Amino acid sequence: MAKTVMVVDDEKRLVALVESYLIQEGYRVVTAFNGRDALDVALREKPDLIILDVMITEIDGYEFMRQYRTENKTPIILLSARADDDEKVIGLKLGADDYFTKPFRPRELMARVRAVLRRAGDTQPQAKVLKAADIVVDRDSRTVKIAQQFVDLTPSEFDILTALMTSPGRVYSRLDLLDIIQGIRYAGYQRTIDSHIKNLRSKIEPDPGTPKYIETVYGLGYRFSSKSL
């Protein structure tokens, strides 16, 4: 199921721009244009992440956080036209997970969104051993067996396979996988993922030309087949 991201800003053109990029990345988007409406929407929709402008009307972003944080731990990325360090400190003390200064490049914001959601997901306990059909992945020893035989994967191939197997059926974009193996500073090199996937398939697939495990979702990215479980 797609993650839900809420965008809160009184600049409707900016909200529409960010919303379009989020939808392209595969997220479900809900919006609000002032702090009071944002509280209602957030409590009703229970988003996985909130992108919140500090200088919204009705109640500002800081007051929104004071009220919302009493019962909710949803990750929040604060947006502000102010680059002042004191403003950042206030936001972070109130529980913001990231602070992003306007104006910004939408692609960089998308990288921040992925990074914050990934960190939030990392707080959940993870199985040490992943199994699907005859594939066994051991996180601790970073080893992979296919039909009881060890398979030699590069670190990047191992991380991609682990991510895909952790959430079978979930579609990972190339940028998602780049974040996992390298971090957001390499976000311009999406096509390197295709090479990693090709090499990974050659090592784990019975027939790499007709993949059984790692499926291509055209226009979106890759997923581990839930049929393999």
Domain boundaries in the chain? Answer: 4-122, 129-228
Three-state DSSP state, 120: helix
The single-letter code of the amino acid at 218 is Y
98: Cβ contacts below 8 Å, ≥ 6 apart: 76, 77, 78, 112, 115, 116
Lowest mean pLDDT among 50-64, 86-100, 120-134, 176-190: 176-190
Which of these ranges, 18-32, 108-122, 160-174, has the smallest mean pLDDT?
108-122
Q: pLDDT band for position 167 (50/70/90)?
A: confident
- The Cα 160–Cα 163 span in angstroms is 5
Expressed in angstroms, the distance from the first to the final Cα of the chain is: 18
DSSP H helix total and E strand total for the chain: 8, 11
What is the CATH class of 129-228?
Answer: mainly alpha
4-122: CATH topology: Rossmann fold (3.40.50)
* Per-residue confidence band for 3, with pLDDT thresholds at 50, 70 and 90: confident
Q: What is the pLDDT of residues 57-98, one digit of tens each?
A: 999 989 999 999 888 889 999 998 876 667 777 877 888 888
Cis status, amide bond into 103, omega within 30 of 0:
yes
